[in-house]
Amino acid sequence: MKCPRCHIGDFFEGHPYQFSTLGEVKQSCKNCGLKYSREPGFFQGSYYVSYALGVALLVTLFILKLIFLPSLAYLTTLLSMVIILVFLAPLLFALSKIIWINIFVNYDSRFKK
């Protein structure tokens, strides 16, 4: 959850589960000055990453269910997966934004002070 270029400056305004600043990204890095929002609507692309993370989580949960709890009822499985997804949604939202910007910004050791 740090700046993709220097790995030092904070990326988010607050913790992913701090609901007053949910997923809010800082304007720029305090350490290296990287402007996080590269263009208007830049983080809309992170929705694709968020979707992929959600699907990966649900598939993983379903495979774990098949292995460890094969007799669990379909409705119970579905409700459990939805509850887990809802509780992890803020984390997935934050992860999707940091993954998205890391696609476009590479680490640069020159900015590590």
Residues at the site binding Zn ion, with contacts judged by CB under 5 A: 3, 5-6, 9, 29, 31-32, 34
Q: CA gyration radius for the chain?
A: 17
Nearer to Zn ion, 42 or 85 (CB): 42
Minimum Å gap between C-beta 112 and Zn ion is 9
Tell the residue number behind the tokens 């990966």, with chain if given. 56
Distances (CA, A) of 27 to 5, 30, 67: 14, 9, 45
Dist. CA 42–CA 57, nearest whole Å: 24
Would the CA dihedral through 88, 94, 98, 103 be positive or negative?
Answer: positive
Nearer CB in complex with Zn ion: 28/77: 28
Beta carbon of residue 85, minimum distance to Zn ion (angstroms, whole number): 31
Least distance in angstroms from the C-beta of 105 to Zn ion = 9
Identity of the residue, 39 or 113, whose beta carbon is nearer to Zn ion in the bound complex = 113
Are 11 and 108 in contact, with CB atoms under 8 Å apart? no
Between 9 and 16, name the residue whose CB sits nearer to Zn ion: 9
Please state the closest distance from residue 27 (CB atom) to Zn ion, in A. 12
